[in-house]
Amino acid sequence: MITLNDPLGANETDALGINDKGQIVGTYVDSNGVEHGFLYSNGIYTTLNDPLAGSKGTVAFGINDKGQIVGYYFDSNGVEHSFLYSNGIYTTAQRSPRQRHLCPRHQ
């Protein structure tokens, strides 16, 4: 079992995905109420913020064993987009309707 301590300034942290290497992705809410995706690997948090995300932030909900991360973000107009984060690059992806049970906060 892994205990996740909230990153600095976080009001809430949710782990949403894990791969066979034990890398965890999820979301946390900062003191301003903005969501940020995160990767937790080898005891270190890395914040994931899609550069196209507006003030509602970024959510990471899946990671494969290659370390590729999927999630979604809301742009400055409040429109939701999915993304793939791989090798340090965010790619906005065409998406089918998201299964909202993966992220209860946005049901």
Give the pTM.
Answer: 0.81
Q: How confident is the model at residue 75 (pLDDT cuts 50, 70, 90)?
A: confident
Is the pLDDT score of 99 beyond 80? no
How far apart are the C-alpha atoms of 48 and 99, rounded to whole Å? 21
DSSP-assigned beta bridge partners for residue 60? 71
Q: How confident is the model at residue 68 (pLDDT cuts 50, 70, 90)?
A: very high
Phi, psi of 63 (to 5 degrees): -145, 135
Neighbours of 30 (CB within 10 A): 17
How far apart are the C-alpha atoms of 82 and 99, rounded to whole Å? 12
- Which residue type occupies 30? D
Residue 81: how many CA atoms within 13 Å on its side-chain side? 20
How far apart are the C-alpha atoms of 26 and 45, rounded to whole Å? 10
